[in-house]
């Protein structure tokens, strides 16, 4: 790593005071970023400033403070649109999270047109949030789920994907980057194939939004979702991007204030996009925090983020892979900074608990990806996932704590 980049990472780490935490008398090494990233001071301070001096309910007020809050809220929408290079702000819907956004598409877009026997294409590497809403379509409307497998490297089987389409295919929902393996899928190719068959496609960008630079106009997907807490922002907020014509075709999912134009005793007229999908008081403070988080990432620059994380991923794969009895899941050359692994004879939960004694925070379990675990014949894995503030010294500490845990269990 260059001296310039090392200095930059040191500056970034100073923005995250939580990294100074001591765990069991050891410095915290936070490697659970795929579950949720930490927030920089720029985000927490913006949230505090807005909450203390600028907060009011948005849109419906005529007083000064409501106008100030509305401006900040809508500026956040614009920030997200710019972050994704959407055509305009109206394509950005604020939701309660990525799970909420996927359910919104399932019920608002797909359910009105789904019929028994219609097919939905998924992959075995999907997060449960991008599986269960489609199971609802199967249970309640007789939809058929078509599953695309992965190879031993953890890469999507593209031949099987193309073969999965039929004249019954109604929808495609796939991950841009696997939370359990780190595999980066060929998103543009997935979109192009779906569109060649006349089928709309949703991409789950929960991991992709924080690790990959995205351009919705170039990617051309119909829907894209991500969550605030994985991009260094607050929890309780997510984003649904949709093509204008897809959003116009969607029915509202939730009813209430803000999403209507007129209400009478025998009729209701819905508002325009995006507000027709944002019933009730929206996540105002969270949107402002998300805006600050995206601004923070844009200030660092995706070239810097991707270069640093790629180096961390390579280092971690080599360091962990060199340890005896370790099996790594997801070894594709096209992967992000996520390393999932198991140790022969030791349950991942036990590994995680012992490694925590060294201050190393990893996640163990099925990572809400049980079909993928079944594919690889395991019940769970341990997962170390990296962010822009992690260092090569922390990679070495990960390997050392893993080695120590293995020795502990014998």
- Ordered by where they begin, the domains of the chain are 3-36+301-409 (3.90.1150.10), 45-299 (3.40.640.10)
pLDDT band, residue 258 (cuts 50/70/90): confident
Give catalytic residue positions: 368
Tell me the CB-side half-sphere exposure of residue 144, using CA atoms within 13 A. 11
β-pair partners for 225: 204, 240
pLDDT of residue 209: 98
- Tell me the C-alpha to C-alpha distance, in Å, between residue 47 and each of 39, 55, 93, 269: 11, 10, 20, 34
pLDDT of residue 3: 78
Looking at the chain, the whole-number percentage of residues with pLDDT higher than 90 is 95
Query: Does position 61 have pLDDT exceeding 90, yes or no?
Result: no
Query: Does position 253 have pLDDT exceeding 90, yes or no?
Result: no
In which order are the strands placed within the sheet that holds 238-242?
92-95, 238-242, 223-227, 201-204, 169-175, 119-123, 144-148
Three-class SS string for 276-340? HHCCCCCCHHHHHHHHHHHHHHHHHCHHHHHHHHHHHHHHHHHHHHCCCCEEEECCCCCECCEEE
- Across residues 213-233, what is the average pLDDT? 98
CB atoms within 10 A of CB 263: 11
Query: Does position 54 have pLDDT exceeding 80, yes or no?
Result: yes
What is residue 305's three-state secondary structure? helix
pLDDT band, residue 32 (cuts 50/70/90): very high
pLDDT tens across 80-129, in order? Answer: 999 999 999 999 999 999 999 999 999 999 999 999 999 999 999 999 99
pLDDT of residue 5: 81
- Across residues 264-269, what is the average pLDDT? 93
- Helix (H) or strand (E) segment spanning residue 71: helix 64-84
Query: Does position 367 have pLDDT exceeding 80, yes or no?
Result: yes
pLDDT of residue 227: 98
- Tell me the C-alpha to C-alpha distance, in Å, between residue 263 and each of 125, 256, 257: 44, 10, 10
CB atoms within 10 A of CB 159: 9
């Amino acid at each position: 790593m260059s001296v310039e980049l090392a200095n930059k990472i040191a500056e970034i780490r100073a923005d995250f005071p939580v990294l100074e935490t001591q765990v069991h008398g050891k410095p915290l090494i936070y490697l659970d970023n795929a579950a949720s990233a930490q927030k920089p001071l720029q985000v927490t301070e913006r949230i505090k400033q807005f909450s203390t001096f600028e907060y009011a309910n948005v849109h419906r007020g005529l007083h000064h403070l409501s106008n100030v809050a509305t401006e900040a809220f809508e500026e956040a929408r614009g920030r997200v649109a710019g972050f994704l290079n959407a055509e305009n702000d109206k394509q950005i819907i604020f939701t309660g999270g990525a799970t909420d956004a996927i359910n919104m598409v399932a019920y608002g877009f797909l359910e009105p047109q789904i019929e028994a026997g219609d097919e939905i294409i998924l992959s075995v590497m999907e997060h449960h949030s991008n599986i269960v809403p489609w199971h609802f379509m199967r249970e309640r409307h007789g939809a058929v789920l078509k599953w695309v497998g992965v190879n031993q490297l953890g890469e999507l089987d593209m031949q099987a994907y193309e073969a999965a389409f039929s004249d019954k295919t109604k929808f495609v929902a796939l991950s841009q980057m696997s939370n359990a393996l780190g595999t980066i899928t060929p998103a543009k190719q997935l979109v192009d194939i779906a569109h060649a068959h006349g089928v709309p496609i949703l991409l789950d960008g929960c991991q992709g939004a924080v690790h990959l630079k995205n351009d919705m106009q170039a990617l051309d997907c119909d829907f894209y979702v991500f969550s605030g807490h994985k991009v260094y922002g607050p929890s309780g907020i997510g984003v649904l991007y949709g093509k204008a014509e897809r959003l116009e075709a969607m029915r509202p999912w939730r009813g209430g204030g803000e999403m209507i134009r007129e209400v009478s005793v025998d009729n209701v007229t819905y508002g325009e996009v995006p507000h027709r999908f944002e019933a009730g008081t929206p996540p105002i403070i969270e949107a402002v925090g998300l805006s600050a988080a995206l601004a923070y990432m844009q200030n660092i620059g995706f070239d810097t983020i991707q270069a640093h994380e790629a180096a961390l991923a390579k280092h971690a794969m080599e360091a962990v892979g060199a340890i005896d009895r370790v099996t790594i899941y997801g070894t594709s050359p096209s992967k992000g900074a996520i390393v999932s692994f198991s140790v022969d004879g030791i349950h991942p939960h036990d590994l995680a608990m012992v490694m925590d004694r060294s201050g190393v925070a990893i996640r163990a379990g099925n990572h809400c990806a049980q079909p993928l675990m079944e594919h690889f014949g395991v019940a769970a894995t341990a997962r170390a996932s990296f962010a822009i503030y992690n260092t090569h010294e922390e990679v070495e500490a990960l390997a050392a704590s893993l080695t120590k845990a293995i020795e502990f269990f014998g």
